Chain A
Amino acid sequence: MNSDSSTGPSRASARRAFEERRRRRSLAIAATSTVVFVGLVALLVPRMPRWDRVKQSFFSGEQFADSFPRLLDAFVLDLKIFAWSVPIILGFGMLVALTRVSRNPALFPIRALCVVYVDLMRGVPVLLWIYLIGFGVPGLGLDRPWNSPLLWGTVALCVTYSSYVSEVFRAGIEGVHESQRAAARSLGLTHGQTLRLVVIPQAVRRVVPPLMNDLVSLQKDVALVSLIGPIEILRQAGIDKSKFANFTPYVVAAVIFLCVTIPLTRTADWLLARERRRTGGTRVAA
């Protein structure tokens, strides 16, 4: 195979040139199609018959500047609800998941209860639970502060999302290979130690990406609490809209939400990609 060493370098450079040409062509196609698409939108939308009115009522710069600080203030409440809910949801979700995977006969009734709980929570829209719990429980005639719709709306979010998260955790726990349990037990670790030291740490690592997706949904669904009273960003945007007869506050709220959810989703994607790299998945060449 002597000829290989002589043709090698030239063939390698030919291949490099070919790859380079292909890369440039892809870039050129992407750039052209982007310019055409944006150009069409910029050209056609303003020609719509009512564009001027839409622009005035949805994209008013003046209204944007006026509403922005107010809405940002109101958004703090959303962030607070989110921040309270996340640890509760993760803790309670894990507890439900562990109950469901346990084989302890004494826990049978609680296990059955957990199955019913998860079915009920997952089978009904979040908004309905917020109405039912947020209006229903304060309706029992509790005293302040226990009759606050803010409190019970948050509780409704926590119980619904805990059920989603418990299923994610359960899948993670069941996804840890049986041989890991066998190894831990063969070393004399108890069932509980095996779960705590070997299974759960691996399960949690594995479910971080899907967990992040649920948290992004939660971040948006916090706004649903507004429908039973608390003045958070969506509610405040509604008030502004009515006051100024202009829809721009809704666009402001959307922009503020995006500032939080886009970084969150990107982080989730990044974690997912990293997990895939670690577990050995590879990309197929074009």
Chain B
Amino acid sequence: MTAQLSIRNVHKSFGSNDVLRGISLDVPRGSVVAFIGASGSGKSTLLRCINLLEPIDDGEIVLDGVDISAPGFDANVARRDVGLVFQSYNLFPHMNVLRNITLALTHATGITRPDAEATAIDLLDRFGLADKARAYPEQLSGGQQQRVAIIRAVALRPSVLLLDEVTAALDPQLVGEVLDLIAELRTSGMTMLMATHEMNFARDVADTVCFLHEGAIHEMGRPEDILDSPREERTQAFLARTMRR
């Protein structure tokens, strides 16, 4: 099976700080990859690089056979195929939920506003947020805001969805509703890459778990292998620290 997304030997540094030191990974269509690892291990940076928010220093990112990381490639075009959801939601506070979702549809893909709103309302309906269409972000709970942010990214029909610790800023009782939404997206066949601290969720949803350490994939494999019987010492130490909480 050919990979939908290929990350090949990606390097990224900020000044003298080498954040990514040669990451390579093939992601088949419809699969879910979970990145785990300590803060600063490069999980977020990797996702931002795949969305082209950060230009990479070396290597290539190939999506559906196209090297989107090539110098001069139109990042705005690539980003429509690669959705990114942030830890801090980053909804636009001056727009209501509906406009948050339709903004990129009308301005980046050229869909008419009525069509965009129909798409948005369909999605809000499907994920139980239809009554919030006219609400402003500050009127929503964190969980609702994050679900809207995910819908905003999904509405563009990306071929890959990147989730950057999307539950890390949420109160514990609000995490479930966001994870449910992600689980549902998985059943609809969405290819997803997610950085997460939710080990149990990674176990349930991911096809592959990658343990990142100092900007490199230290160990990867099926969730049960990595989470239950990791071979590497560092993976064991990290999981022992995390599970104890």
Instruction: Point out residues on A near B: beta carbons under 8 Å.
Output: 179-180, 182-190, 193, 197-198, 201-202, 205, 278
Task: Tell which of A186, A193, A197 touches B79, judged by Cβ atoms closer than 8 Å.
Answer: A186
Number of B positions contacting A (CB below 8 A) = 26
**Complex: how many Å from CA A151 to CA B122?**
57
CA distance A198 to B108 in the complex (A): 14
Q: Which of chain B's residues 81-126 have a Cβ closer than 8 Å to chain A?
A: 83-84, 86, 88, 90-94, 103-104, 107-109
Instruction: For B53, give its contact among A186, A193, A202, A205 (CB under 8 Å).
Output: A186
Contact sample, A vs B, 24 pairs, CB 8 Å cutoff: A182-B48, A183-B91, A183-B92, A184-B92, A184-B104, A185-B79, A186-B79, A186-B84, A187-B83, A187-B104, A187-B152, A188-B77, A188-B80, A188-B104, A188-B156, A189-B107, A189-B108, A190-B76, A190-B108, A193-B107, A198-B92, A201-B94, A202-B93, A278-B138
Q: Which residues of A contact B156 (CB under 8 A)?
A: 187-188
Q: Which residues of A contact B153 (CB under 8 A)?
A: 186-187
Q: Are B93 and A188 in contact (CB under 8 A)?
A: no
**In the docked arrangement, what's the CA distance between A198 and B90, Å?**
11
A185-B79, A189-B108 given; A180·B103 CB < 8 A: no
When distances are taken between beta carbons in the complex, the residues of chain A under 8 Å from B90 are 179-180, 182-183
Binding site of A, secondary structure by majority: helix, strand, loop or mixed? helix
Q: How far is the CA of A186 from the CA of B79 in the complex (A)?
A: 6
Q: How many Å from the CB of B104 to the closest CB on chain A?
A: 4
Max chain A CB contacts within 10 Å: which of B91, B94, B138? B94
A179, B79: Cβ atoms closer than 8 Å: no
From B77, B93, B108, A193 is in contact (CB under 8 Å) with B108
Residues in A with CB closer than 8 Å to B69 are none
The smallest beta-carbon distance between B120 and chain A, in angstroms, is 13
Could you list 14 further interchain pairs (A-B, Cβ under 8 angstroms) beyond the known A187-B79, A187-B80? A182-B86, A183-B90, A184-B92, A185-B53, A185-B75, A186-B153, A187-B108, A187-B152, A188-B77, A188-B79, A188-B156, A189-B108, A198-B92, A202-B92
Q: Is the CB of A183 within 8 A of B86?
A: yes
Interfacial chain B residues near A193, Cβ < 8 Å:
107-108
Task: Name the distance in Å between B111's Cβ and chain A's nearest Cβ.
Answer: 12
Q: Shortest Cβ distance from B88 into chain A, in angstroms?
A: 6
Q: Closest residue of chain B to A280, judged by CB?
A: B138
Give Cα A125 to B53, complex, Å. Answer: 44
Closest 9 CB pairs of A and B: A183-B90, A187-B104, A188-B108, A186-B84, A188-B80, A188-B79, A179-B90, A201-B94, A188-B76
Contact B76–A202 (Cβ < 8 Å): no
